Amino acid sequence: MFLIDCGEGTQVQLRKNKLRFSKINHIFISHLHGDHFYGLVGLISTFMLLNRQTDLHVYGPKGIKEIILLQLRYSNSYTGYNLYFHELDSNESETVYEDEKVLVKTIPLKHRIYTNGYLFQEKAKERKLNIEAVENYNIDLAYYRKIKYGGNIELEDGTIIPNSELTFDPEPAKSYAFCSDTMYDESILPIIKNCDVLYHETTFLESEADKAEKTMHTTAKQAAVIAAKANVKQLILGHYSTRYANIELFKEEALAVFPNVLLADDGKIFDFE
Ligand SMILES: [Zn+2]
């Protein structure tokens, strides 16, 4: 489980939604404005109280390590687990995490302070065995792995069976881009192009476009333009200014530009299986 940003309400929401704290091993922080990381030292402390043993990795802007360690030092606190900081200061997209299933890359954003979004990209999956075909040809189990990775098979009589006869296409690899906070910025388009789900901040409506520009945030319309230009499948909006009583207005404004819009809200779960 990946946690992206950690505002002061994060622990409350994790408990409310019955998410297991122990499953969080990687935390990605976009930038050092309070509403995006003031919950981090609290969460790290809670992990200590829960007697966590597993390593914890924190990815975020340069300075985050100093801030957290200073707080721990002055409260005379020590973690019983290994706490690793991966500090970022590049303005180019870079891979910050990789395992056998997924890659995480930064999405450099334009905000009042140094900020990154994060792209979570599933790796291409193995091809699916066509068991019936494989058994018909009497292919030995030892070759299954080769077939799943796209290999052809040569039978004893020299006949080549092409992989397309032995497998089905795998489930397409999915991708999720998280972009908050940022002003309208087309330079992110090549990084998020064709991704399945884009979360994009929309702090303001177009009627407050001047405020969006001044505070380096985005309007709902601008987020929708980014989604359309990047050809993503689904846009999720969030990070609404509290000045708006009705968040449906964000959806309405974005829908005029892009057809697939969902509104993020506390505790809401999106399932794209
Ligand atoms: Zn901010």
pLDDT (tens digit per residue) in 133-178? 999 998 988 999 999 989 999 988 999 999 999 999 998 899 999 9
Instruction: Check pLDDT > 90 for residue 273.
Output: no
Peptide bond into 181 cis (omega under 30): yes
In the predicted structure, residue 14 carries a pLDDT above the cut 90:
yes
- Strand pairing class (95-98; 102-109): antiparallel
Centre a 10 Å sphere on the Cβ of residue 127 and count the other Cβ atoms it contains. 18
The chain-wide mean pLDDT, for the chain, equals 95
User: Tens digit of pLDDT for each residue in 50-106?
Assistant: 999 999 999 999 999 999 999 999 999 999 999 999 999 999 999 999 999 999 999
CA of 241 to the centre of ligand 1 (A): 12
**Residue 112 CA, ligand 1 centroid: distance in Å:** 7
Q: Is residue 35 among the annotated active site residues?
A: yes
Query: Residue 272 pLDDT > 90, yes or no?
Result: no
Please tell me the least confidently modeled range out of 37-41, 128-132, 201-205.
128-132
Angle at which helix 40-49 crosses helix 64-74, to 10 degrees, equals 50
- Ligand 1 centre and the CA of 7: distance in Å? 11
CA of residue 139 to ligand 1 center, whole Å: 58
| pLDDT of res. 16 | 95
Q: What pLDDT, on the 0 to 100 scale, is given for residue 60?
A: 98
Quick: pLDDT tens for 92-122. 999 999 999 999 999 999 999 999 999 999 9
pLDDT at 156: 87
Catalytic residue, chosen from 5, 35, 169, 266, is: 35
* Residue 181 CA to ligand 1 centre (angstroms): 5
Structure tokens, 74: 């002055």
For residue 111, the CA-to-ligand 1 centroid distance in Å is 7
Confidence band, pLDDT 50/70/90 cuts, at residue 125: confident
Distance 117 CA to ligand 1 centre (A): 12
Alpha carbon of 128 to ligand 1 centroid (Å): 44
How far does the centroid of ligand 1 lie from the alpha carbon of residue 149, in Å? 43
